[in-house]
Chain A
Amino acid sequence: MDLTKQDILDLMESFDKSSMSKFHYSNEKESLDFERGTVQLPPLFADQTGSDPGAPAAGASASAPVNGKVASEKAAQGTEAENDAGREPEAAGQVQLKAPLAGVFYRSSKPDEPPYVKEGQKVKKGDTVGLIEAMKMMNEISAPCSGTVTKVCAGNGSFVQYGAPVMNIKEEA
């Protein structure tokens, strides 16, 4: 028999309510699979708009979510930083440089020096684009790819969390 859209929705609902972890159906023309997902830790660059960071997670569900989406939303709430890093969603072809360590971000090597990079500037993969300092320990951070810096997300002298957006680079050969 062919599955109608309603059949599939009904099956999904029954699966969700059941204690099954996997479901498989197939005929000559099509097959349908459901699998219960584990709580995934989503990447830190969540592009959902988060809600109040102070609010506790909405009532934890007793069963694992079917596709891990619930976990992503909770993490977005948790990830919403007190940080002033930009929340630009990634556009196609953009690579986001995320802070490889936590600390204070500096755009130039010294206060009176010009910044390593400006928005609109071209960089090569591996170029130093900034510094992150933690308790006088300086770390150079480098461009993850070659291209043009489209946006510097982290403010000069601001604290960046591990994984926070630092800058967006439009990847170009």
Chain B
Amino acid sequence: MKKRFKILFTVFIMLMFSSCGDNETHVINTVHEDGSVNRKVTVKTTDKKDFIQKNSRVPVDSTWRIEITYDINENKDTVWLLTADKHFDSVEEINEEYDKDKGSNRALKRSADFTKSFKWFTTVFRYTETIEKVLTIDCPMSDFLTGEELKFAYLPGKIRGDLKNGPDSVRIKEMEERIDRKSEEWLWTCEFRQWVEVFYDLFGDNPDLGITRDEMRSRESEFAQLMTGDDNNNDEGANLDSLFATVVGEDFVKTFKTEIDSAGSVVDTIDSPFWGASKYDMEIRMPGRIIASNGYAEIDPDSDNGGGILWTVKGDYFLTETYEMWAESKVNNYFIWIITGLFILFVSSGLIFYHRKAKSS
């Protein structure tokens, strides 16, 4: 258990740093009416190693048209820019690439979907990118964050950055700190809840346990508070066993050490896609006019990437809930408009003709 939490802490700290790192991966999906998709991936980094396939956050291989350029930023560092694009005839081809992915996010279960529905006067297109949830338990972020905090937590990094530098920056920064604090609490609650489920699924039949599943579950908030407490900040994992023992009881830890570690290993396997996930931005551009989406509109008119709907993909979003990025657009079927208009005119004329005839006779 101790070793496990040491690793988790290290990875968590790494994740926090990596989220502020200089690898900016941006994926633009330009969807066409026939369901084909032009995918463009741009990776901006100061470390050229990020271009190696195993470090790629989205699948990019030799079948893509790749261009690498560089520039010097304001700190006189070399900034490398990789631009890769590929045309996919259908979303199935994208899904095949996801299945064969060898990049840093290969453990994620990602898929794309496209539907086209004829709705007489309009044709509606829907494009979805889905990332399956990692943990098997239910532990929604909404149980920990308020509505406003939740909205802010889901904002793409770019828009969040704009807000942080905006006129209400003090309030925004304070809210971000609050969200970070609550997110950490949520994260440890999820981990503990998952561990409880696995532990009791595997060893729940043992008559010597002494603590029921529900009793153990009720201790999750205590565990999360201990893990996120100020006293724990300078800890190097030395008292993690004692923290765990404080929550579940020392006797329990001593008696079921092997079982606890086994359950911990299973949880490690389950949540490894989360800990290994690397952040990137997703943009979807739809044919026709976008009518609905759960993303955010690009607001920077100077951006080369303008015109699409934005999302950020990061571990928090799909740890306990399936993360779906979708956009719907419509194209007017003007031919149908004309046909229907003529039909209505024909019927109206017929009725007028009938009434005149009836009147005259």
* A and B interact: no
Residues on B facing A (Cβ under 8 Å): none
